Amino acid sequence: METTNKVYLQPTPVRIWHWLNAFGIITLIVTGAQIRFPEYISLLTSYKSAILLHNTAGLMVAVSFSLWFFYYGLVARSIRKIYVPTKDDLQFGILRQAKFYLLTYFLGWKNPHHATPDDKFNPMQKSAYMAIMFVLMPLVALTGILLTNVSPLRELVILVGGLKLLVAAHFLLACSLCAFLFTHVYLATLGKTPMAYIKPMWTGWEEVEPGEHSHHTP
């Protein structure tokens, strides 16, 4: 009989943070779509409630983002280790991982990256998350904060190019994050079973085969 080992991959604060973000970001996408296209989308009963919910969810995700940055950057000081690709990652790792996703996965080979609590992300994930967490998220949050405080921050709004430019940037950044979400959710199903990577984000524990480390998380 095959025994399975369990690795505690996702600590409780990380899981709470992840699902709060997930809930917040989905709310932002739905309400944001209604705010931009009110004549086509009316999931919420009124435009006003869409705005209020969007602003609230935006604030929640911005606070959650700040907590993440504060914790990993200043408390745990592991932001560089977890999120910044190493020289080896850039030279070989990304290519190796891309080869797996685009070719060897279909041939039934194993994932070349084995996630551990200290080395959660594969080289491609590191690059993707770095772009998401250091570029897209801060920019979408900052443009959102400016847009919810146009009157008090008027000078700043004009300094960055005016409302139209700000709205355009906020919209395109949001579309990029939305595009990432599809890829993110899909990649989460690429484990041994479709739920293999999703479960640890809920329970914290990942089941791994004997003699093997944990797989990556998406």
Q: How far is the CB of 116 from another protein (least distance, A)?
A: 23
Which one among 48, 75, 118, 211 touches another protein, defined by CB under 8 A? Answer: 48
Per CB under 8 A, 11 contacts another protein: no
Name the DSSP letter for residue 37. Answer: -
Smallest separation (angstroms) from another protein to the CB of 146: 12
Determine the Cα–Cα distance for residues 174 and 187; give it in Å rounded to an integer: 20
From candidates 71, 134, 180, 205, binder to another protein by CB under 8 A: 180
Asked if 161 touches another protein (CB under 8 A), the answer is yes
Task: Determine if 13 is a binding residue for another protein (CB under 8 A).
Answer: no
Could you say whether residue 26 binds another protein (CB under 8 A)? no
Q: Give the type of residue at 37.
A: F
Candidate list 167, 198, 203, 204; residue touching another protein; CB under 8 A: 167
Minimum gap (Å) between residue 77 Cβ and another protein: 32
Instruction: Decide: is 131 part of the binding site for another protein (CB under 8 A).
Output: no
Q: Any contact of residue 164 with another protein (CB under 8 A)?
A: yes
Exactly one of 3, 75, 155, 211 binds another protein (CB under 8 A); that residue is 155
Of 80, 81, 168, nearest in space to 117 by CA: 81
Q: What are the respective helix, strand and coil percentages of the chain, to the nearest 5?
A: 65, 5, 30
DSSP 119: B
Cβ-proximal residues to 65 (8 Å cutoff; 6+ apart), any chain: 21, 133, 137, 138, 141
CB nearer another protein, residue 29 or residue 142: 29
Between vectors from CA 40 to CA 39 and to CA 46, what angle results, nearest 5°?
Answer: 65
Compute the least distance from the CB of residue 209 to another protein, in Å.
11
The DSSP element (H or E) to which 138 belongs, if any, is: helix 137-148
Q: Of 118, 115, 143, 128, whose CA–CA distance to 85 is shortest?
A: 128
Residues at the site binding another protein, with contacts judged by CB under 8 A: 35-39, 46-48, 51-52, 55, 101, 105-109, 148, 150-152, 154-155, 158, 161-165, 167-168, 171-172, 174-176, 178-183, 185-187, 190
